[in-house]
Amino acid sequence: MSRAGAPGTLAPDDHEGAALPTYTNSSSRSDRHTQTLSRRRCFQSTLSLFNNMSIFGRSSSSAPAPSAPSNIDAAATELEMVSDLFNRLVRSCHGKCIGNRYLEADLTKGESTCIDRCVDKFFNVNTKVGERIQAKGAASQLSQS
């Protein structure tokens, strides 16, 4: 068993009960720490997106169980929408931030920063678009009644 902290070994880092490995290498420790933090922020953003959804939320005691056909259809539609959102996010940010040639096994500091900013912008824009669509839908419902 290798000891944590030795160059090139993995050291577990607790994140809400799940062990996320982080590399501990004294030569580029700050770069790897920045990459780990960026990956955690991306993971936390994705996790909060899933938790805010009705089917995937942690407080599902108030939500009905997806047993009725309409609830199952809604859950399937919601899962499809989340999958589409994730795939568009990966395609967009990967294309903008990571080149076609992989020179290193890990993300560089520039790639990591670019992906962090891209994911943040993607979710901010997606939230704003959703809010505008909801506002227009509410306005059209008020005008019809």
pLDDT at 93: 94
Residue 19 lies in a domain: no
CATH number (domain holding residue 122): 1.10.287.810
pLDDT (0 to 100) of residue 112:
93
User: 116: domain range?
Assistant: 30-54+68-144
Give one DSSP letter per residue of the chain, joined into a string. Answer: -PPTTSTTEEEEEEETTEEEEEEE-GGGHHHHHHHHHHHHHHHHHHHHHHHHSTTT-S-TTSSPPTTSHHHHHHHHHHHHHHHHHHHHHHHHHHHHHS-SS--SSSPPHHHHHHHHHHHHHHHHHHHHHHHHHHHHHHHHHHHH-
- pTM here is 0.49
Residue 25 counted as domain residue: no
Residue 135 in this model has a pLDDT that exceeds 80: yes
- Residue 34 within a domain: yes
Q: What is the pLDDT of residue 128?
A: 94
In a domain, 130, yes or no: yes
Is residue 10 assigned to a domain? no
Name which residue leads in pLDDT, 42 or 144: 144
Is the residue at 15 inside a domain?
Answer: no
pLDDT in tens, 41-87: 655 666 565 555 544 444 444 555 556 778 888 899 999 999 999 99
Question: Is residue 5 in a domain?
Answer: no
Q: Is residue 128 part of a domain?
A: yes
pLDDT band at 8 (very low <50, low <70, confident <90, very high): very low
Domain count of the fold of the chain: 1
State both tokens at 55: 């089917």
